[in-house]
Chain A
Amino acid sequence: MASEQLEEYLESILDIEEREGIAKTSSIARCMKVAPASVTEALQTLADKGLVSYVPYKGANLTETGREMASKVKRRHRLLEVFLSDVLHIGEGNIHDEACKMEHTLSDETEYALCKMLNAPARCPHGSLIGPCDRQVGSCTECQDNPKLAAAYPLRQESLVPVTSLTPGQKGIIAFIRGDSGVVQRLTDLGLTLRTEIKLVRKAPLQGPVEIGVRKTRLAIDHAIADHIFVSAGRETS
């Protein structure tokens, strides 16, 4: 299977997994507009490569490696969408398909440069969250102010999620805060420093503020700001 096709499968599985927990063959087939038989075949290949764990008749889940690959492509896809719409002013209707073709050929270097040029956008034009990059930068200002490319930073060891995607009660360690220095400074001053353990206490409905426990205090933080706080997720507590 061509690597392009493989990445497309991983992306679809990631999407479906987020919605339904497990990616059933039929769902993947519908999402990718192919026959279920081709899906079964593809899943077998992906399983052989150690990218998904596949149970026939039940569906597939991404493995750690698979998830990393899928997230990386997703991130590129969404960055490209921002680029196509904000810089090239290409119509809303076309950007998804364009990005779909371009995402597979993007190198790391171009990805980092694109992110830097676009000022580390948080969301794609459709409103989906753009994941953090895979380098060990503590914040975006640093990458932005630095003449050297992000590629010079070492790779991250663990996968990160925004604090807003934790479940209430779940803890995480702050690994990365995206955004301009003003917001980062405000968060830092309130105790949200790198490598600090925080807990998601509650999410207000309708994308309202999230309540975060940090250093024995609790903070209500706007959902859009909290999206910028990336943690390595820990186990759930009551």
Chain B
Amino acid sequence: MPGGHGHNGHGHGHQFRHHGQIREYMVALAGNANVGKSATFNQLTGVDQDIGNWPGKTVERAEGILQHQGHRIRIIDLPGIYSITALSTEEQVSREFIAHDHPDIVVNIIDASALERNLFFTLQLAELESPMILAVNQMDLAAQKGISIDFLKLSTLLGVPVIPTVAIQGKGMAELSDAIVTAIRTRPKPHVILYGREVEDRIQKITALLPVKAGDYPARWTAIKLLEGDPDTVWEVKKESPDAVTAARTFGAELETMHGEPVGTILSGERYHAAEQMVADVVTIQTAGQQEMNVTEKIDRLALHPFLGYLLLIATIGGLLVWTFIIGAAISEIMLHYLSLLAPVEPLISGSVTDIVFNGAWTGFVAALTLIIPYVIPFYLFLALIEDSGFLTRFSLMLDRGMHKMGLHGKAIIPLVLGFGCTVPACLSCRIIESPKQKFLAAFLVTLVPCSARTIVILGVVAAFVNIWWALALYLFDFILIVVLGRIAFRVLPGESVGMIMEMPDYHVPSVPVVVGQTWQRTKSLIWIVLPSYIVGSIVITALYALGFLEPINTLLSPVTVLLLGLPVMTGVVFVFGIIRKEMTLLALAAIFGTTVFSTIMTPVQLIVFALVTMLYVPCISTILALAKEFGWKKTLGITALETGLAIVCGAIAFRLLSLVM
């Protein structure tokens, strides 16, 4: 369509947000997990990414800006889900977002090679009655499997535009952007998909008893939810239209008797039936391509092999450790060497104010750089690789059995692995786990996983000034602690544990833009927190120290630091700063003692105890906030208190035991 078409006078005014002079539109990407939503998101927003992805704030949905034909369109990537029955937090988030925030368009991305399952979700989305576009992705893979799709027919059946895409290669993105801009004007609403007679009649009878717009949700949707007996909907509607609730209950019971299944299952069955018919209408399969799909099968024979599979897993974890402790550490050292040639990376405690401020800022900058480049970026790159290729889900499957011992299942591997990068997104990713008990359990264990910040403390204090083996031993101790605490918490916490149900995606060669995009997304959120907090933090520490404010804190904490842990009295304030971010302990140590050679200020035993306590005590501020948001303050403070107590006990024991041998 010709560019720069007017934005005025179309659609409903209240649904537009203003951004300066230009009207900003909002488009949500929704779809099953692993259909190429992230790839589409990156392709659409790649040029003009939005900064605002602060950990703990909006990680649940990535946001970005698409500039197209003079329009400014905010793209929101919703979590990948299979249904919007709101059984899991992710489903609830997506459903509420579409209903409450009224995106101008919902782009439903579907996987061309598993059309039935994907259309099932499309039909559910359609019931929310938002204007919609269908992007049929992974057309290349579908073609390999001999699947061809009649898009025109699909578009007619659904009543919305259908765009074929290969997001990884950027194919179809221009068409999709055009379609989004056109749809903002035309607002194509999907057709109502009629169910079988006996179900449909009852839905319509309930709809008739409801007001035209019951709250945020369309009347038909509400009627269906009432029929399914969705407790939230029943509760909301009960006051306004009690008749509808009563009717729905009667009809529901009637259907259950007729079909011999619960209503929820009957409706899912009906939707699948509709999806099956649609697929039969629009898809033709040439069997010639069938043999192609065995690549995944071949790799799985190795990756899921009862022996070789575990070997691969151990090799992967071993490789990560080698990288962190040997290669990463070496790079960090080289970087530090060259950066300190530019200006001394030694904190100043006296001198002119400008000197102190500059020095604090520079030290903070260097510390952030030597954390992000050798550790954070490689880890996230590796993570994106195993995620995008499909190996991460195989690891989940292989470790499922082991995770049962801690009352978790294989999916919990994903947050636990993420935790090696940063605890905050890892805690939020626990949402992929369905049962509330397991979700909390996983988040608790995630706070114990040595994140990149804790790794750098272990490396900077222990590996650098004691030896690498003690650093590894700390890591190992942490793993054992996670397993032991997991087992205890599993027994102590109320609630039930449910097993894993997870899709196994086909393998594919990771695409460079997706991997780079994902790595950047994750690193970026760290940079925006680490850089300022380092720079400001180290200025504050030096300033407070120069002004003599630190003495009282040290004295207050000395019973713990000196008597129990056997550490120098000055470490009290260091631990306080560590609550902001764990790596700040390194910075604070250097600032307060005026040296980065920690072996001159502490004995090897003290260094190990110091790192151990830092690793275990209070999760950092960002983690506390993220936990509070997900689980409430009571549980968060519980975790904080428990881990602080644990750190002191372990530290005190370690101090006494190590003093005997070292």
Interface of B is mostly: helix
Contacts of A205 in B (CB 8 A): 306
Complex-state Cα separation, A184 to B498, whole angstroms: 12
Tell me if B262 is interfacial: C-beta within 8 Å of chain A.
yes
Q: Is B262 touching A141 in the complex (CB atoms < 8 A)?
A: yes
A63, CB-defined interface residue at 8 Å = no
Encoded as 1 (CB less than 8 Å from any B CB) or 0, chain A from 202 to 215 comes to 10111111010001
- Whether A186 lies near B401 (C-beta < 8 A) is no
B194 to chain A, nearest CB (A): 18
Chain A residues with Cβ under 8 A from B87's Cβ? 182, 185-186
Are A139 and B396 in contact, with the CB atoms below 8 A? no
- Contacts A188-B264, A190-B117; is A220 near B393 (CB within 8 Å)? yes
* Stretch of B71-79, B265-273, B420-428, B646-654 that contacts chain A: B265-273
For residue B257, which residue of chain A has the nearest CB?
A146
A218 and B504 contacting across the interface, CB-CB below 8 Å: yes
CB distance from B491 to the nearest CB of A (A): 19
* Contact A225:B501 (CB < 8 A) given known A204-B304, A209-B400: yes
Which residue of chain A lies nearest to B498 when distances are taken between CB atoms in the complex? A183
Q: Which of A150-194 contact B (CB under 8 A)?
A: 153, 181-191, 193-194
Q: Closest Cβ of chain A: how far from B438's Cβ, in Å?
A: 12
**Which of chain A's residues has its CB closest to B310's CB?**
A205
Q: With an 8 A cutoff between CB atoms, is A216 at the interface? A: yes
Given contacts A138-B261, A185-B265, A186-B87, contact A191 B304 (CB under 8 A): no
Contact partner of A146 (CB less than 8 A), chosen from B256, B264, B499, B503, is B256
CA A218 to CA B265, docked complex, whole Å? 20
Residues of B within 8 A of A142 (CB): 256, 260-262
A191 touching B501, Cβ below 8 Å: no
A224 interfacial by beta-carbon distance below 8 Å: yes
Query: Restricting to B252-295, which residues have a CB under 8 Å from any CB of A?
Result: 253, 256-257, 259-262, 264-265, 268-269, 272
B82 within 8 A of A: yes
Contact A189 B268 (CB under 8 A): yes
Q: Among A139, A141, A153, A187, which residue has its beta carbon within 8 angstroms of that of B501? A: A187
B262 in complex: contacting residue of A139, A215, A217, A220, CB < 8 Å: A139
Q: Are B114 and A209 in contact, with the CB atoms below 8 A?
A: no
**A145 contacts the other chain (Cβ, under 8 Å)?**
yes
Taking the closest CB of chain B, its distance from the CB of A178, in whole angstroms, is: 13
Verify B499–A153 contact, CB threshold 8 A: no
A186-B87, A204-B398, A222-B409 known; A211 and B261 CB under 8 Å? no
Whether B261 lies near A221 (C-beta < 8 A) is no
Q: Given A188-B269, A202-B300, A217-B503, is A145 in contact with B262 using a C-beta cutoff of 8 Å? A: yes
- A196 contacts across to B, CB distance below 8 A: 272
Shortest B399–chain A CB gap in Å is 9
State the CA gap A183–B114 with chains docked (Å).
Answer: 22
How many residues of B are counted as interface, with CB atoms below 8 angstroms from the partner's CB atoms? 41
Given contacts A220-B504, A222-B499, A225-B499, contact A181 B300 (CB under 8 A): no
Q: How far is the CA of A209 from the CA of B397 in the complex (A)?
A: 7
Contact residue among A190, A194, A204, A218 (Cβ-Cβ distance under 8 Å from B269): A194
A219 touches B502 (CB 8 A): yes
In the bound complex, residues from chain B placing their C-beta under 8 Å from that of A133 are none
Residues of B within 8 A of A184 (CB): 262, 264-265
- Candidates A141, A181, A217; contact of B114 at CB < 8 Å: A217
Contact B504 A219 (CB under 8 A): yes
CB contacts (< 8 Å) of A139 on chain B: these are 261-262, 265
B261 adjacent to A194 (CB under 8 Å): yes
Q: Which of A145, A146, A222 lies at the interface centre, i.e. has the most chain B CB atoms within 10 A of its CB?
A: A222
Q: In the bound complex, do residue A209 and residue B262 qualify as a contact, i.e. CB atoms below 8 Å apart?
A: no
Residues of B within 8 A of A207 (CB): 401
B500 on the interface (CB 8 Å rule)? yes
Bound-complex Cα distance A196 to B116 (A): 12
Complex Cα gap A194–B260 (Å): 11
- Are B268 and A193 interface neighbours, CB within 8 A? yes
Question: In the docked arrangement, what's the CA distance between A220 and B268, Å?
Answer: 20
- Residue of B83, B262, B397 ringed by the most chain A CB atoms within 10 A: B262
* Cβ-based interface call for A200 (8 A): no
Asked if B85 and A204 sit within 8 Å, CB to CB, the answer is no
A184 and B267 alpha carbons, distance in the complex (Å): 13
Contact of A137 with B by CB under 8 A: yes
Contact size range, A = 35 or more
Q: Would you call B558 an interface residue if the criterion is a C-beta within 8 Å of the partner chain's C-beta atoms? A: no
By the criterion CB–CB under 8 Å, are B82 and A189 in contact? yes
A138-B260 CB under 8 A given contacts A190-B503, A202-B300? yes
CA distance A211 to B297 in the complex (A): 12
* Beta-carbon contact of A222 and B503 below 8 Å: no
Whether a CB of chain B sits under 8 angstroms from the CB of A67 is: no
Q: State which of B114, B253, B264, B401 has its C-beta within 8 Å of the C-beta of A208.
A: B401
Q: Is B251 an interface residue (CB 8 A)?
A: no
In the complex, chain B residues 563-617 whose Cβ is within 8 Å of any chain A Cβ: none
Residues of B within 8 A of A188 (CB): 264-265, 268-269
Residues from chain A with Cβ under 8 Å of B257 in the complex: 146
| Set of chain B residues within 8 Å of A193, measured between Cβ atoms | 265, 268-269, 272
Tell me which of B114, B500, B503 has the highest count of chain A C-beta atoms within 10 A of its own C-beta: B500
Which B residues lie within 8 Å of A217 (CB)? 114, 117, 503
With a cutoff of 8 Å between Cβ atoms, the chain A residues found around residue B300 in the complex are 202
**Given A189-B120, A193-B269, A215-B116, A206 contacting B503 (CB threshold 8 A):** no
Nearest opposing residue in chain A for B270, CB measure: A193
A99 to B260, CA, bound (A): 31
Q: A142-B256, A191-B120 are in contact. Are A221 and B500 (CB under 8 A)?
A: yes
Q: Give chain B residues whose Cβ lies under 8 Å from the Cβ of A220.
A: 393, 396-397, 400, 410, 500-504
Q: How far is the CA of A221 from the CA of B400 in the complex (A)?
A: 10
Give A185's nearest chain B residue, CB to CB. B264
State A81–B533 Cα separation when bound (angstroms): 62
CB-CB nearest in chain B for A191: B117
Tell me, in angstroms, the Cα distance from A221 to B244 when the chains sit together.
Answer: 37
Nearest-neighbor residue (CB-CB) of A186 within chain B? B501
CB of B346 within 8 Å of the partner chain: no
The verdict on A136 contacting chain B, using a C-beta distance below 8 Å, is: yes
For A225, what are the chain B residues with a Cβ–Cβ distance below 8 Å?
498-501
B222 / chain A contacts, CB cutoff of 8 Å: none
- B113 part of interface (Cβ distance < 8 Å): yes
B434 lies within 8 A of chain A by Cβ: yes
CB distance from A185 to the nearest CB of B (A): 5
A215 to B115, CA, bound (A): 8
**In contact, B501 and A221 (Cβ under 8 angstroms):** yes
Supposing A189-B120, A217-B503, A220-B500 touch, asked if A208 and B400 sit within 8 A by C-beta, the answer is yes
**Measured between C-beta atoms, what is the minimum distance from B233 to chain A in Å?**
15
Asked if residues B503 and A218 are in contact (CB atoms below 8 Å), the reply is yes
Residue of B whose beta carbon sits closest to that of A187: B501
Which A99-148 residues have C-beta < 8 A from chain B?
136-139, 141-142, 145-146
Tell me if A223 counts as interface (CB < 8 A to partner B): yes
Contact with A along B516-532 (1 / 0, CB 8 A): 00000000000000000
Contacts of A209 in B (CB 8 A): 397, 400, 410, 499-500, 502
Further 5 A-B residue pairs, CB within 8 A, beyond A141-B262, A217-B117: A142-B261, A146-B257, A208-B400, A209-B500, A215-B117
- 4 closest residue pairs by CB, A with B: A222-B499, A189-B83, A138-B261, A188-B268
**What are 9 A-to-B residue pairs whose CB atoms are below 8 Å?**
A181-B265, A186-B434, A188-B265, A191-B120, A196-B272, A204-B398, A209-B410, A216-B114, A222-B409
